[in-house]
């Protein structure tokens, strides 16, 4: 698929795919995509987030009073915070505020923050779908910011009997509902990602403007080709690892968002990819030998942004002879390394997909979010796993609470 700002290519060789299985999956895809499209109109369906008329359950005018804050601290875990981190990372040049993310139990980070910032001047946004996520509550209570009628706290959780919702009522804190039918890893295009985006100064309408692209006839062809080939790989269990080769630092957090989405949605019943982020070209010097000459159990996703860098290499006066790097743009060097790797992949018959971004914008990021959400759900349905639950994770949560009780 080739659009003006986003180029997507598949290069998965026939030897990795069962042609008979591919035909069956192709027929199944046609029924599934029709079913999925209908689900986008369902008011109590996860896929409603991909509806152009999706109604946000907050009023923008009610958030305007929080725009005064120049420092924002986001507290959450997994899907509750990864989307906001991805948005901040990708659109950092447009964001004029100081942003903190507390997405793990990091004692040093909490202590440093408390010493450095006047917390009365910080806007705290605490997000937990269940309203009782252990790490999120631990960080929030450690910061000790809860007080009656606090004007610098926003809470987002399900509207039911849970700690965050109870605190919002007890202390009269600003509250937004996390829809119970939208799982955390799918929530970036709902209030969970849209409220942080608005507070960071991102155009939330542009972010959601292209989310229906892959239901269109031309774009749907790429989705179909991708979904059935990836489903075939998972069904045959020849490919176990999905390596994100990231040539764009602006996409690192987006890829961590993808990692959770793919791992939690498809990692069930003995199936699934292990998604791994590999920052390149740095990893050319540590992992490339394995990638090219190791076990053929990997599918590679190559991500790049082809915006020209202003940084130019200058070897004049340093070397007697003109060096091949002289007057080269840094981004040109990186693109040459990426294209060389693609050549090697083709020569060695290594399966890969390429995601090439030509413009850093809200529209492009929204398209990427919606594409991977749609593709992951479709693949889940094709390989007969439930892409919406996470039973094994819940088991560990139960054990943790018992040990702490």
Higher pLDDT pick, 66 / 397: 66
Per-residue pLDDT band for 75 (boundaries 50, 70, 90) equals very high
Least confident of 136-150, 192-206, 282-296: 136-150
Direct distance between the N- and C-terminal alpha carbons of the chain, in angstroms, rounded to an integer: 53
Tokens of 103: 């997405």
Higher pLDDT pick, 325 / 269: 269
Cβ neighbours, 10 Å, residue 248: 24
Per-residue pLDDT band for 315 (boundaries 50, 70, 90) equals low
Higher pLDDT pick, 342 / 396: 342
Share of the chain above pLDDT 90, in %: 82
Give residue 312's pLDDT: 73
Query: 68: buried, middle or exposed (CB in 10 Å: 19+, 13-18, 0-12)?
Result: exposed
- Predicted confidence (pLDDT) at residue 324 exceeds the cutoff of 90: no
Residue 125 sits at φ, ψ, to 5 deg, of: -120, 115
Region for 126 from its dihedrals, namely left if φ exceeds 0, alpha if ψ lies in -120 to 50, beta otherwise = beta
- Predicted confidence (pLDDT) at residue 244 exceeds the cutoff of 90: yes
Over residues 92-113, mean pLDDT: 96
DSSP string, 178-226: --TTS-GGGGGGSHHHHHHHHHHT--HHHHTTTTTGGGSHHHHHHHHHH
Give residue 134's pLDDT: 94
For the chain, the average pLDDT equals 93
Give residue 275's pLDDT: 98
CA distance 40 to 213: 13
Give residue 52's pLDDT: 92
Give residue 186's pLDDT: 97
CA 369-40-155 angle, 5° bins = 60
DSSP string, 352-395: EEEEEES--SHHHHHHHHHHHHHHHHHHHHHTT--TT--HHHHH
Tokens of 57: 């359950």
Higher pLDDT pick, 286 / 405: 286
CA distance 381 to 376: 9
Cβ neighbours for 261, distance < 8 A, ≥ 6 positions apart = 79, 185, 186, 372, 373, 376
CA 261-263-264 angle, 5° bins = 70
Give residue 317's pLDDT: 66
The domains found in the chain, sorted by start residue, are: 6-36+211-391 (3.40.50.10490), 60-207 (3.40.50.10490)
Tokens of 71: 């420092």
Q: What is the pLDDT of residues 125-184, one digit of tens each?
A: 999 999 999 999 999 999 878 899 999 999 999 999 999 999 999 999 999 999 999 999
Please report, to the nearest 10 degrees, the dihedral formed by the alpha carbons of residues 123, 129, 132, 133 taken in order: -80
Residues in the chain, overall count: 405
Least confident of 6-20, 79-93, 376-390: 6-20
- Predicted confidence (pLDDT) at residue 212 exceeds the cutoff of 80: yes
CA distance 384 to 390: 15
Higher pLDDT pick, 396 / 266: 266
Share of the chain above pLDDT 70, in %: 97
Give residue 333's pLDDT: 85
- Predicted confidence (pLDDT) at residue 321 exceeds the cutoff of 90: no
Alpha carbons within 13 A on the beta-carbon side of 367 = 23
Q: What is the pLDDT of residues 368-384, one digit of tens each?
A: 999 999 999 999 999 99
CA-derived radius of gyration, the chain: 23
Over residues 205-212, mean pLDDT: 96
CA distance 203 to 70: 17
Give residue 310's pLDDT: 74
Give residue 238's pLDDT: 84
Query: 244: buried, middle or exposed (CB in 10 Å: 19+, 13-18, 0-12)?
Result: buried
Residue owning tokens 């004007």: 151
Q: What is the pLDDT of residues 326-372, one digit of tens each?
A: 667 778 888 999 999 999 999 999 999 999 999 999 999 999 999 99
Closest CA to 378 of 215, 208, 255: 215
Give residue 76's pLDDT: 98
């Amino acid at each position: 698929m080739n659009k003006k700002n986003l180029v997507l290519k598949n290069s998965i060789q026939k030897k990795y795919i069962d042609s008979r299985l591919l035909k069956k999956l192709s027929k199944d895809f046609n029924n599934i995509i029709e079913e999925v499209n209908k689900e986008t109109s369902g008011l109590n369906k996860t896929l409603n987030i991909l509806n152009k008329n999706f109604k946000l359950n907050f009023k923008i005018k009610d958030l305007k009073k929080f725009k005064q804050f120049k420092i924002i601290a986001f507290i959450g875990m997994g899907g509750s915070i990864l989307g906001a981190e991805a948005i901040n990372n990708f659109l950092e040049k447009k964001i004029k505020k100081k942003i903190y993310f507390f997405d793990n139990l990091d004692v040093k980070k909490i202590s440093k923050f408390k010493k450095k910032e006047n917390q009365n001047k910080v806007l705290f946004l605490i997000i937990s779908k269940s309203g009782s996520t252990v790490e999120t509550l631990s960080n929030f209570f450690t910061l000790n910011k809860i007080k009656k009628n606090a004007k610098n706290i926003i809470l987002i959780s399900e509207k039911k009997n849970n700690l965050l919702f109870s605190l919002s009522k007890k202390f009269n804190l600003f509250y937004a509902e996390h829809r119970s039918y939208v799982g955390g890893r799918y929530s970036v295009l709902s209030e969970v990602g849209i409220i942080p985006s608005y507070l960071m100064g991102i155009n939330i309408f542009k972010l959601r403007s292209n989310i229906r692209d892959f239901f269109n006839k031309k774009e749907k062809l790429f989705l179909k080709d991708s979904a059935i080939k990836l489903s075939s790989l998972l069904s045959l269990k020849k490919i176990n690892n999905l390596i994100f080769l990231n040539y764009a630092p602006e996409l690192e957090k987006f890829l961590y968002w993808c990692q959770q989405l793919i791992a939690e949605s498809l990692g069930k019943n003995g199936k699934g990819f292990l998604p791994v982020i590999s920052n390149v070209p740095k990893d050319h010097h540590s992992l490339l030998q394995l990638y090219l000459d190791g076990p053929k159990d990997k599918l590679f996703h190559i991500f790049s942004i082809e915006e020209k860098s202003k940084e130019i290499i200058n070897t004049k006066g340093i070397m007697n002879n003109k060096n091949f790097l002289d007057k080269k743009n840094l981004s040109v060097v990186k693109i040459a390394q990426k294209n060389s790797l693609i050549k090697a992949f083709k020569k060695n018959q290594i399966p890969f997909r390429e995601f090439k971004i030509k413009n850093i914008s809200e529209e492009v990021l929204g398209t990427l979010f919606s594409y991977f959400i749609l593709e992951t759900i479709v693949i889940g349905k094709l390989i007969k796993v439930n892409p919406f639950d996470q039973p094994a994770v819940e088991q560990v949560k139960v054990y943790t609470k018992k040990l702490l009780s």
